[in-house]
Amino acid sequence: MREFSRSLPMLLLRGREAVMRHFRPLLRAHGLSEQQWRILRVLAAAEAIEVTELAERAFLLGPSLSRMLRDLEARKLLVRKLVKDDQRRSTVSITAKGLKLIETVAPFSEAIYAEITRRTGGDRLAELQDLLRALEAGLMAMPVRHAAGAVDSDPEFRSTRAPKVRPQAKAAAPGGDDE
């Protein structure tokens, strides 16, 4: 097995941490978490977006996103609206106040990027970004194989927790209506 510090997940985490340690103080100074900033950045690039798509683009889980949307909405940085044809869905859009916050943070963020570029080299940074996009595309196209089904693991190492069971969809009564 490869050395832990040379494993791809660890190298990616360490690289992310090295980058984010420069941005976190800036975000904290403006009362934002990394995840909230990602939400605002996604919204700034979209007129209005459905919550599920926002979760995908910002790489956030639904429950976490819901909590953050409540906070950002209370701060009047975004607004939520129910979808006209389907009241179970909603869209989110950034407010003028949210755009103003991005405009305020942007010059400081760009200064950090400029320093990262200076220290890394513009060509090397561009190459890294291209490599990361290629890695993502290649891995997204790769089928996911779970080792649990492929090996007979020693029971001593298996989890003692019961596996999560998803609730079965309720079957509709014959001729009945699901709603």
Structural domains of the chain ordered from first start: 4-118 (1.10.10.10)
Angle subtended by helix axes 34-44 and 62-74, to nearest 10: 80
Torsion of CA 126, 128, 133, 134, to 10 degrees: 110
CA distances from 146 to 108, 136, 143, 150, 152 (A): 43, 19, 10, 7, 12
Provide the residue-wise pLDDT of the chain in tens; the chain has 179 residues. Answer: 889 888 999 999 999 999 999 999 999 999 999 999 999 999 999 989 999 999 999 999 988 999 999 999 999 999 999 878 877 788 999 999 999 999 999 999 999 999 999 999 999 999 999 999 999 999 999 998 876 665 556 667 666 676 666 666 544 444 444 44
